Amino acid sequence: MLCHACHVHLRRDYPYCLHCGTLRKGAVVDSYAAPELRWADAAGERVHPLVKPTTTIGRSPDNDIVLDDASVSRHHARVVRNAEGFHLEDLNSFNGTTIGRRTFHGDWAPLPDESKLHIGDIPLRFAQPRSAAIGSKTMVRGVEHSILLPAPETEEAPTATGPLTARPRRRSGWALKQVPDMRGDQQWVLRNTRTGQYLQLDERDVFLWHQLDGENTVRDLLFAYAQRYGELALPRIERTLRTFAALELVRGLHGQREAEKPPLLKRFGQAVLKTLLRMEVSVKGLDSVFGRMYRSFGWRFFTRTGVVGLWLCILGGIYAMAVAGAHQNLFDINGAGVWGAVVIAAGYLVALIVHESAHALAVKSYGRTVTRGGFMLMMGMPFAFVDTSDMWFGSRWSRIVVTLSGPLSTAAIAGMLAAVAAWVPAPQVSGIAYQLAFGLYLNTLYNLNPLMPLDGYQALADALRLPRLREEASAYFTKGIWSDIKAGRKPGIKQIGMAAYGFTAVVGTGLFVLLGFLAWRDRLGGLVEEYLPPGIDVLVIVLGIGLIMFPIWYRLFRKLTGFIKSRKAATAEVAA
């Protein structure tokens, strides 16, 4: 259901739109927990539920909310609840009222959820109570439960003489929020407020995060983790700490040095390595573009009519594809020639743009931000992407919708092309449409493949509430299940499922690498065999494939060397 004012998705357990503050049609406000105004004074944090249709604010004792400050007028402002939601009216105060960056006198402004406002010089916040059970569902924790620390001028990292004696410490400038979960499972999102990077955490990661005070050593973390969870999980702790350090959230790890400008040659080498590992071209500032697209026409795709139309295109396209298959031949464009190939290539490009735009519009339908988008290379193959990481602050269902919006849009386009191929009499037009539809259906199936880290995998991980499904399943298949078998423990249904997925993920990744190797061998082989003498052509092919698949070889090498070093260091520490 979309808000009738701003067209952003509504929560059925909220009486008003969290994006613009408009009251949801048919909502009875008195049946919900009241929104609150929160502020702080000498007595501590104050909370006032807005249970009345009109709540007055001022310095005079006859107000509903009394703010004893010289910057506040006697009757300064009032919060009004009407059919359009909540809004704040300034009562011609001397110092004015501010919402966000707008200051006004004798005027009014709507109050969306989490609005920051100033009555005179007193800061307040308007919010739905996150700790209340509204509509019998557990709500996400609000900003008051987030931890925001300003960055100090200087920070000194503790030194370490070994991996287990390091005293890692949280850097300042971070926010930790618990995200919504309908089953009450504990999940968090950690954000670096300095860089804007996000990290999804589970309960054990958060436990480790809170231990990083600069006093506890890694050995202390190991024993604290074992005392709480009953296992000595040094590899997991090391992996988690490295992840925190990679996002510039932790200092003081063994071997971690203070940021300093390296020599020019080293910087050049680092730039080349970064390019080889992640060949990416991204563009920032796309949020305003997709925001305008969503407000102008994109919201219509997320209405009930739009969703029904989408599924009609998908299901009808499957039937049309079967009809077209009776008189169309694969890889035959009925004599369209070069221009037919050009049209097919352009069609794939348009479908790619629509696919990524669907992800972005779905993000905007939940009132979230699209931080960037662009193109990247994976094993030498181009992929487009939009950054939807802001959805980590959304609900599980909203993340699934955003993830599946891309493949479903591609399937809908394929369905319309299949209808053209089935019932348009022009042979060249129908032939081109059939080839495009077939290719886009394959693309949809590939994106929905849960064995690759693409849309299907992300949706499955969210549906199962296992954000590290691939890593945990692969680890259990390679280590855990064999330990259980040796110890005589019978794996349960979940363990069997994890092992099965881990097996298929490992095999699927191997097949994908093999197919990529064979595809690029054929591509490069056809180019160099005609121009290079025997022996040299093989060397060029091997070097070319090695360069294209460099991220795979490099990560395998780093993982192997890191494992060997950690084992040696742990053995040396224990022996000492």
pLDDT in tens, 321-336: 999 988 888 777 777 7
Per-residue confidence (pLDDT) for residue 453, from 0 to 100:
74
Give the mean pLDDT of 349-378: 86
436: its two tokens: 């495009």
The sign of the CA dihedral 279, 452, 361, 247 is negative
CA dist 121 → 21, 47, 59, 76, 356 (Å): 24, 18, 12, 12, 44
Query: Using CA atoms, how far apart are residues 286 and 374, in angstroms rounded to an integer?
Result: 10
For all residues of the chain together, what is the average pLDDT?
77
Give the mean pLDDT of 452-465: 82
> H or E element: which one contains 436?
helix 427-447
Per-residue confidence (pLDDT) for residue 144, from 0 to 100:
33
pLDDT, greater one: 557 or 545 = 557
pTM over 0.75: no
Map 31-94 to HEC letters. HCCCCEEEEEECCEEEEEECCCCEEEEECCCCCCEECCCCCCCCCCEEEEEECCEEEEEECCCC
Per-residue confidence (pLDDT) for residue 87, from 0 to 100:
87
Per-residue confidence (pLDDT) for residue 437, from 0 to 100:
92
pLDDT level of residue 255 (50, 70, 90 thresholds)? low
Residue 313, pLDDT above cutoff 90:
yes
Residue 340, pLDDT above cutoff 80:
yes
Residue 354, pLDDT above cutoff 80:
yes
pLDDT, greater one: 551 or 88 = 88
Which residues 6+ apart lie within 8 Å of 181 measured at CB? 138, 187, 395, 396, 465
263: its two tokens: 């020599």
Query: Using CA atoms, how far apart are residues 217 and 532, in angstroms rounded to an integer?
Result: 58
Per-residue confidence (pLDDT) for residue 66, from 0 to 100:
92
Per-residue confidence (pLDDT) for residue 303, from 0 to 100:
92
Look up tokens 């330990």; give the residue: 483
Residue 259, pLDDT above cutoff 50:
no
pLDDT level of residue 523 (50, 70, 90 thresholds)? low
Strand positions, DSSP E, 345-465: 372-378, 381-386
- When mean pLDDT is compared over 159-173, 287-301, 537-551, the highest value belongs to 287-301
Per-residue confidence (pLDDT) for residue 145, from 0 to 100:
34
20: its two tokens: 């613009």
Per-residue confidence (pLDDT) for residue 219, from 0 to 100:
86
pLDDT level of residue 183 (50, 70, 90 thresholds)? very low
Give the mean pLDDT of 414-429: 92
Rg (CA), the chain: 29
Per-residue confidence (pLDDT) for residue 10, from 0 to 100:
77
Per-residue confidence (pLDDT) for residue 307, from 0 to 100:
93
- Do 436 and 348 form a contact (C-beta atoms < 8 A)? yes
- Do 279 and 185 form a contact (C-beta atoms < 8 A)? no
Range in 100-104, 150-154, 366-370, 448-452 the model is least confident about: 150-154
Which residues 6+ apart lie within 8 Å of 473 measured at CB? 498, 499, 501, 502, 505
Range in 114-128, 254-268, 364-378, 507-521 the model is least confident about: 254-268
What is the CB neighbour count within 10 angstroms for residue 3? 22
239: its two tokens: 């992996």
pLDDT level of residue 56 (50, 70, 90 thresholds)? very high
Per-residue confidence (pLDDT) for residue 276, from 0 to 100:
58
Query: What percentage of the chain has pLDDT greater than the value 90?
Result: 20
- When mean pLDDT is compared over 233-237, 342-346, 463-467, the highest value belongs to 342-346
Give the mean pLDDT of 25-44: 75
Residue 133, pLDDT above cutoff 60:
no
Per-residue confidence (pLDDT) for residue 158, from 0 to 100:
41
Query: Using CA atoms, how far apart are residues 61 and 79, in angstroms rounded to an integer?
Result: 17
- Do 45 and 53 form a contact (C-beta atoms < 8 A)? no
Range in 241-245, 249-253, 325-329, 545-549 the model is least confident about: 545-549
pLDDT level of residue 261 (50, 70, 90 thresholds)? low
Give the mean pLDDT of 354-381: 82
319: its two tokens: 């039937």
Order of strands, sheet of 372-378, starting from the edge strand that comes earlier in the sequence: 280-284, 372-378, 381-386
pLDDT, greater one: 294 or 160 = 294
Give the mean pLDDT of 412-428: 92
Phi-psi region of 124 (alpha: psi -120 to 50; beta: other; left: phi over 0): beta
Per-residue confidence (pLDDT) for residue 110, from 0 to 100:
85
Per-residue confidence (pLDDT) for residue 410, from 0 to 100:
94
271-298 exposure pattern, b = at least 16 Cβ within 10 A, e = fewer = eeeeeeeebeeeeeebbeebbeebeeeb
Give the mean pLDDT of 293-311: 93
Query: Using CA atoms, how far apart are residues 41 and 79, in angstroms rounded to an integer?
Result: 20
Residue 149, pLDDT above cutoff 70:
no
Residue 431, pLDDT above cutoff 50:
yes
